[in-house]
Copies of this chain bind each other. A is one copy, B any other.
Amino acid sequence: MSQLRSVPTLDDVARAAGVSTATVSRCLNSPERVVEVTRKRVMSAVEQLGYTPNFGARVMAARRTFTIGAIIPTMENAIFARALQAFQEELHARGYTLLVASSAYQPEIEEEQIRSLVARGADGLLLIGHERDPEVYDYLKSRSIPVLSAWVYLPDTGQPAVGFDNRRSMFALAQQVIDFGHLRIAMISGITKGNDRAAGRVLGLRDALQANGLDPEAMPVIETPYGVENGADALRSLMQADVPPTVVMCGNDVLAVGALRGAQDMGLSVPQDVSITGFDDIELARIVTPQITTVHVPHREMGRKAAIALVDMVEKRSTGEVVELKSTLQIRDSLRDLNG
């Protein structure tokens, strides 16, 4: 007998509507298989009892969750927010729910989060970047959980992905910087260890130096964690060199904004005394003065396409492709044209 004042179950609804639990279940999951009059009766019982299906039970019985997990390195800033928003909107439109976790840029935490999302029955996973312990991929494969990487385009890995070529994008920006007459280039990069996006951006800049007859090894590079303060500190130390750079290229916009502040704190004006570039094109890049020259990443498009691709994989319409999105240069005031 159903207890009074207890959480209603399928059984309670079935009893209230005078049908079997199977019928109630069908009303909820494939309404077209139930004749209208019955359905209405059931639905009003659902309403009246304030019934909400128990997710755990449903997962167990159906062995599907319609849940997609995403693990992003950080929620602390806007970098992933826009893409994630689009990702989630597209998932929602396809009847999926998004579960988000963040790894604080730490592989061990990421692995823990992956296990947790898998245990929670995620039908598919979105991860940022490719680089991680192969065991992680084995684990996911053994459970046949589709994984899609975002933020990278590295077709050689063969991993399904929706992203852009970090290395080539940074190369393009660097080429522009060099075309503007800059020869003394320094870089502030995010931590490259375990972060193939950051690493790719460093490589892209080196490529450009090489291609233009400059010595990649001679370029000062400071690696520092995410954060405005860190960018400011790094800039200060770079500008104290005997022959300071004419441009400081940053691995991301947050560091670039920090570098900008750092320069202004030193009494340097940007771009007269030093040029600064970023990467990502988050809103912040246009809010500061001067606005920051950066690489525009199609965040929303990436989020949307990732959702489509991942759902296709989950529903076995595809085994996962490697999709390349194009980044574009955003030349703004923080970069000075030395020829001009």
Q: Let me know if A54 is at the binding interface, CB within 8 A.
A: yes
Q: Let me know if A60 is at the binding interface, CB within 8 A.
A: yes
- Indicate if the CB atoms of B55 and A57 lie closer than 8 Å: no
Which of A156-164, A166-174, A280-288 is found at the contact surface with chain B? A280-288
List of B residues within 8 angstroms of A99 by Cβ: 99
Q: Let me know if A85 is at the binding interface, CB within 8 A.
A: yes
Copies in the complex: 2
CA distance A66 to B115 in the complex (A): 16
Q: Let me know if A308 is at the binding interface, CB within 8 A.
A: no
**Per a CB cutoff under 8 Å, which of B53, B56, B85, B264 touches A289?**
B264
- Indicate if the CB atoms of A119 and B289 lie closer than 8 Å: no
Tell whether A76 pairs with B78 under 8 Å between CB atoms, given A52-B119, A99-B99: yes
Q: Let me know if A121 is at the binding interface, CB within 8 A.
A: yes
- Indicate if the CB atoms of A55 and B119 lie closer than 8 Å: yes
- Indicate if the CB atoms of A287 and B228 lie closer than 8 Å: yes
List of B residues within 8 angstroms of A228 by Cβ: 283, 287
Within 8 A of B (CB), among A77-128: 77-78, 81-82, 84-85, 97, 99-100, 115-116, 118-121
**Per a CB cutoff under 8 Å, which of B142, B261, B287 touches A50?**
B142
List of B residues within 8 angstroms of A261 by Cβ: 287
Q: Let me know if A180 is at the binding interface, CB within 8 A.
A: no
A-B contact pairs, 29 of them (CB 8 A): A5-B142, A52-B115, A53-B119, A54-B121, A55-B56, A55-B59, A55-B120, A55-B121, A56-B56, A56-B58, A56-B60, A56-B121, A60-B60, A75-B75, A75-B81, A75-B85, A76-B81, A77-B78, A78-B78, A97-B116, A99-B99, A100-B100, A261-B287, A264-B289, A284-B284, A284-B287, A287-B288, A288-B288, A289-B289
